[in-house]
Amino acid sequence: MSGRQGQGLPGGSLSRRQFAALLAAGGASTFLPGCRSDTGAVDPQLDTAWFKDPDPFIRHALNLESRLELLDGLITPNDLFFVRNHAPTPAIAAADYRLRVTGDGIERSIELGFDDLRALPSQSVIAYLECAGNWRGFYARVLGQAAEGTQWGTGAVGCAAWSGPSLASVLSAAGLRPEAVAVNLIGLDDGGFSRPMPVDKAMDPDTLLALSMNGEPLPPDHGFPVRGVVPGWAGSNSIKWVGEIQVSTEPIWVSANTTSYVLIGPDWPAGQYAPADGAPVTALPVKSALALPWPGTVPAGRTRLRGFAYSNDGPVESVEWSADDGASWAPARLMGPRLRYAWTRFEFEWQAAPGSYTLRTRATDVAGNTQPMEGVWNQKGYLLNLALPHPVEVS
């Protein structure tokens, strides 16, 4: 295992035996929430008192935003996991799949088939993935200054169990050279979306070439047959449908680390990050969100509210909640398990009188990072993580 660990907390990558033991210790109900039946109907065991729309997603062109109110477990089911694609989902047959490893940062180019990857030692990590632009819609709603791009609410995030060989094992098979500095995973989608990462992140044992998601082969929308999983970093780094890995002794510059997935605005001076237009987006900040539509409606009286909190520097240490727009705070209960790269579930009871309220939650991770009360605008709308003011009507 690797990565920062809290006392008594599991770390990052898990072996098959550790992964199975963790699931067995908690029982399937700890990880897999009630959601939908095979017919697509909502499971009556799931608390959907405030959910009125039968569509489990909020739709943004090619992209699907999860409704957090439909999620109630550590693991997000595959059919409720948000979808962020830059092009239509390609149809790739496992028998025809080939992965090429190329570049001057390796001693030899290699080509691997799907069965070759399956034959490598497999690791598992339970990790959340979040689009860097999650919450982008709140730049306009809350900060009063819109940002470019898909106007996500809170649902461009999910947590899954990913399994497959480590990226490091494939790079080692190609003979990683000491001079290598950058690794670029390139997708087989139209346009070949890619986003380079430093070689140390690529060699982190928690960085995987995932072949399965929640114990099943990757769904096509989530990268079948092979996707990168880079825990704790913006979802754009977890490339789907990986067909080539470029390893270079020089930095690699593509559109996704020069003109997009970079921070542009008054707080990131132009020219400082050349040739990129701004600071590259990598690690994700600490965040929390209520599992409640925005704006929300709840009945008067004692009601249980819940949500999800997560951080690259996880696990989350505590979550507080406020029903008076941050004037006063109370602790929420954290629900286990708490893992290095997984999100943490929280809940609290609120004795709610009729009226209009602004609820906020704020999370603190084990590294001491806490959500701020104010957001910092950037042109592309990335990484917003203020203690989100959530309007709620009690009737």
**Each residue's pLDDT tens digit, 97-145:** 999 999 999 999 999 999 999 999 999 999 999 999 999 999 999 999 9
CB neighbours (10 Å) of residue 376? 15
pLDDT at 52 over 80: no
* Mean pLDDT score across all residues of the chain: 89
Mean pLDDT calculated for residue range 275-298: 96
CA distances from 97 to 42, 49, 92 (A): 36, 45, 7
**pTM across the whole model:** 0.88
- How is residue 122 written in tokens? 């497999």
Copy the structure tokens of residue 196. 């380079």
State the pLDDT confidence band at 38, using cuts at 50, 70 and 90: very low
Average of per-residue pLDDT across 143-152: 97
Nearest CA to 131 among 1, 240, 20? 240
- Structural domains for the chain: 94-128+161-280 (3.90.420.10)
**Token output for 379:** 């042109």
User: How far is Cα of residue 47 from the mean position of the Cα atoms in its chain?
Assistant: 24
What lies within 8 Å, CB to CB, of 349 at 6+ separation is 302, 303, 304, 305
Q: Judge whether residue 17 has pLDDT over 50.
A: yes
Q: How far apart are CA 379 and CA 49, in angstroms?
A: 37
Share of residues in the chain with pLDDT > 70 (%): 86
Tokens 């929430």: give the residue: 33
Mean pLDDT (whole number) for 365-391 = 97
According to DSSP, residue 233 is labeled B
Token pair listed for 238: 């977890």
